[in-house]
């Protein structure tokens, strides 16, 4: 009962202020300098439900990915982190590094609360031309200082993100008026030779665009919004503005995370396709919202900066509806698999596609054909995850059970009339009683196009299933908590056609 009350308080705080004005912990030092931070706690990474191919911290709470930046051959993943426990609070930037987006090494906490407030979400850039004057190639983190109000601050690193110094002129974007004003995502716009910041306006349903020549002085340029009520079911958070070349035309995509009001319930990420002139984003006339992911558990995702040849995205694999009570110990929450997201024209319309990053090949075993029944016993080590690729006949009603030897299963069905793949996350899926919002009888993923047979990839880990159409045109991410990893597949109504390969644990 006490846990329930605490959770309720946590969730109310999260929903009301997403996540609201954080209290500043009295014990925390007055600056964001981190040289004396402790080494991360270590874990065997084999606890129940511990993801094997996804990033989780050794212990404690995480939410949004932050400060995604690629520098000197290293991918940096910062994230909302509570260094002191498994509930949301004491918001700081945790940090992990990876050479390949799969094998992560947790680092000391990068940024902790200071006199301006807790450290909420934001981004990081490499300042190649030393526009800020901190030094050539400084890594500059831009984040929300969440104190009495939400304002934007910066910190910089001259040692490859091993340590950060907060800028003495903070906040660089002051605010005492707006209630929601957070999650700065910054990129360099070469035509206007300016930095561009996208900032979320929460319950005002807007994304404000600001520009700067030096990362320190910012000018507000415009606010993007949508009048559609379907885009206004929740607060707008964690934007990202992406540039694409599609069929010879330049197009821009605005990612906006909404909470609640996602595609199923609770959190989700919508996107708008349009044009951007360096100051203003204008969305094309399309049917919105468009969803990046049709599942319940992919939120607050943004992309890495400074990656030359592709757009790499990662999301927080959870949902504010039940994030505070998901069963995991001693950590709480994981990131999605990193995905390459691209803009394509499908059925004559622009659409974002998602594909798991190509580096996945480095942990993949040989493909083996799959037959109806349990495939796990013969081919998997206990710590491995896997990818199952099914050829799904969209013309026939069929039901698939992804199951384990404990009698637990995730069912998904094919609905040829609506061209949907529909998953059912129920009490049969595994642990489900921790929140009434968690079981869902109908998670719908549309299958664009008109092909009779489509490839469906399932990336299965100990507490998640990411279903992605092989052409990337739809994705559905779901948390599941089976007693053991699902390791069998059973199909009724159609012939089972597919193959499977192991994905070796990245924590071995």
Q: How far is the CB of 332 from ligand FRU (least distance, A)?
A: 13
For ligand FRU, the binding residue among 19, 215, 370, 485 (CB under 6 A) is: 19
Q: Residue written as tokens 């910089």?
A: 156
| Residue 348 exposed, middle or buried by CB count within 10 Å (0-12, 13-18, 19+) | exposed
| Smaller CB separation from ligand FRU, 204 or 214 | 204
C-alpha to C-alpha distances, 214 to 31, 55, 146, 169, nearest whole angstrom: 22, 33, 23, 13
Contact string 273-312 vs ligand FRU (x = CB under 6 A)? ---------------------------x------------
* CB contact at 8 A, 265 and 448: no
Task: Give the count of alpha carbons within 13 A of 174, CB side only.
Answer: 3
| Smaller CB separation from ligand FRU, 175 or 426 | 175
Chain centroid to Cα 433, Å, comes to 24
Structure tokens at 263: 């595609």
Q: Residue written as tokens 């890594």?
A: 139
Closest by CA position to 301, among listed 89, 459, 438, 123: 123
80 near ligand FRU, rule: CB under 6 A: yes
Q: How far is the CB of 160 from ligand FRU (least distance, A)?
A: 25
269 near ligand FRU, rule: CB under 6 A: no
For ligand FRU, the binding residue among 68, 91, 110, 141 (CB under 6 A) is: 91
Q: Is 64 annotated as catalytic?
A: yes
| Smaller CB separation from ligand FRU, 91 or 186 | 91
The pairing of beta strand 219-225 with beta strand 249-259 = unpaired
Give the span between the Cα atoms of 439 and 433, in whole angstroms: 8
Instruction: List the catalytic residue out of 25, 27, 46, 64.
Output: 64
Structure tokens at 475: 């994705």
Strands of 169-294 (E only): list them: 182-189, 194-200, 206-212, 219-225, 235-246, 249-259, 268-276, 281-283, 290-291
For ligand FRU, the binding residue among 183, 240, 384, 461 (CB under 6 A) is: 183
For ligand FRU, the binding residue among 63, 151, 502, 505 (CB under 6 A) is: 63
Size of the residue set binding ligand FRU (CB under 6 A)? 14
445 near ligand FRU, rule: CB under 6 A: no
Chain centroid to Cα 246, Å, comes to 24
182 near ligand FRU, rule: CB under 6 A: yes
Q: How far is the CB of 151 from ligand FRU (least distance, A)?
A: 12
18 near ligand FRU, rule: CB under 6 A: yes
92 near ligand FRU, rule: CB under 6 A: no
Give the span between the Cα atoms of 140 and 154, in whole angstroms: 7
64 near ligand FRU, rule: CB under 6 A: yes
| Smaller CB separation from ligand FRU, 144 or 505 | 144
For ligand FRU, the binding residue among 120, 276, 304, 386 (CB under 6 A) is: 120
Structure tokens at 59: 């212990």
| Smaller CB separation from ligand FRU, 121 or 151 | 121
322 near ligand FRU, rule: CB under 6 A: no
Closest by CA position to 141, among listed 67, 62, 91: 67
Chain contacts with ligand FRU (rule: CB under 6 A): 18-19, 63-64, 80, 91, 120-121, 144, 182-183, 237-238, 300
Catalytic residues: 64
């Amino acid at each position: 009962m006490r846990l329930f009350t605490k959770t309720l308080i946590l969730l109310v705080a999260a929903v009301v202020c997403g996540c609201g004005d954080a209290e500043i912990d009295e014990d925390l030092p007055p600056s964001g300098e981190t040289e004396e931070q402790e080494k991360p706690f270590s874990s065997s990474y084999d606890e129940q439900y511990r993801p094997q191919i996804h990033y989780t911290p050794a212990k404690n709470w995480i939410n949004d990915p932050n400060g995604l930046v690629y520098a000197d051959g290293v991918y940096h993943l910062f994230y909302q982190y509570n260094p002191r426990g498994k509930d949301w609070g004491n918001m700081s930037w945790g940090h992990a590094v990876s050479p390949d987006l799969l094998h992560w090494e947790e680092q000391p906490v990068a940024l902790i609360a200071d006199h301006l407030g807790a450290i909420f979400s934001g981004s990081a850039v490499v300042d190649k031309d030393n526009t800020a004057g901190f030094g050539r190639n400084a890594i500059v983190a831009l984040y929300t200082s969440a104190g009495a109000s939400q304002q934007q601050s910066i910190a910089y690193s001259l040692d490859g993100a091993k340590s950060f110094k907060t800028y003495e002129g903070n906040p660089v974007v002051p605010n005492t008026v707006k209630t929601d004003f957070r999650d700065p995502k910054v990129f360099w716009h070469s035509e206007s030779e300016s930095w561009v910041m996208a900032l979320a306006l929460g319950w005002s349903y807007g994304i404000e665009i600001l520009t700067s020549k030096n990362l320190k002085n910012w000018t507000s340029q415009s606010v993007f919004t949508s009048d559609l009520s379907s885009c206004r079911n929740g607060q707008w958070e964690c934007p990202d503005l992406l540039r694409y070349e599609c069929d010879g035309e330049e197009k821009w995509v605005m990612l906006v995370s909404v909470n609640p009001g996602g595609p199923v319930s609770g959190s989700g990420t919508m996107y708008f396709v349009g044009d951007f002139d360096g100051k203003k984003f204008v969305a094309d006339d399309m049917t919105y919202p468009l969803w990046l992911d049709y599942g319940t558990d992919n939120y607050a995702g943004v992309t890495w900066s400074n990656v030359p040849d592709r757009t790499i995205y990662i999301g927080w694999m959870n949902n504010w509806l039940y994030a505070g009570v998901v069963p995991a110990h001693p950590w709480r929450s994981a990131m999605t698999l990193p995905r390459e997201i691209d803009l394509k024209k499908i059925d004559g319309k622009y659409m974002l596609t998602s594909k798991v990053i190509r580096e996945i090949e480095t942990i993949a075993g040989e493909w083996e054909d799959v037959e109806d029944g349990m495939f796990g016993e013969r081919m998997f080590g206990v710590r491995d995850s896997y990818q199952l690729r099914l050829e799904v006949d969209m013309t026939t009603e069929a039901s698939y059970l992804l199951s384990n030897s404990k009698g637990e299963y995730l069912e998904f069905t094919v609905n040829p009339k609506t061209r949907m793949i529909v998953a059912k996350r129920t009490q049969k899926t595994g642990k489900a009683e921790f929140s009434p919002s968690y079981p869902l009888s109908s998670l719908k993923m549309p299958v664009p196009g008109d092909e009779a047979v489509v490839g469906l990839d399932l990336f299965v880990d100990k507490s998640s299933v990411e279903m992605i159409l092989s052409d990337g045109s739809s994705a559905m991410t779901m948390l599941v908590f089976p007693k053991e990893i699902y390791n069998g597949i059973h199909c009724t109504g159609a012939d089972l056609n597919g193959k499977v390969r192991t994905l070796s644990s990245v924590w071995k």
